[in-house]
Amino acid sequence: MARVAGLLDRVPYWLLALPLRIGAAAVFWNSAQAKLANWDTTIELFTEEYKVPLLPPEFAANLALCIELAAPCCW
């Protein structure tokens, strides 16, 4: 058991974290692509389903899209 732990300690952190970061970034990227593909549906969802308080639905949809496009670059 100690030998396995010693081998794992030699693996750099970034190598372990990279697939997880790519997976999280892919979720944001795919969500943004879905919003862009069906923009009318996205506006309708923000108007009828999400009902974001204090923000117009169009602004909230654009804000969500910008965040989802920028988030993968931050990971």
pLDDT tens digit sequence for 14-72: 998 999 999 999 999 999 999 999 999 999 999 999 988 899 999 999 999 999 999 88
The pLDDT of residue 73 is 82
Residues with Cβ < 8 Å from 60, sequence gap 6 or more?
A: 46, 50, 52
CA angle, corner 49, sides to 38 and 36, nearest 5? 15
Give the count of beta carbons closer than 10 Å to the beta carbon of residue 11: 9
Joined tokens for residue 71 = 């988030």
32: left (phi over 0), alpha (psi -120 to 50) or beta: alpha
**What predicted TM-score, i.e. pTM, was given to this entire model?**
0.75
**Which sequence spans correspond to the domains of the chain?**
19-74
pLDDT digits (tens, 9 = 90+) for 33-49: 999 999 999 999 999 99
What's at 71, amino acid-wise? A
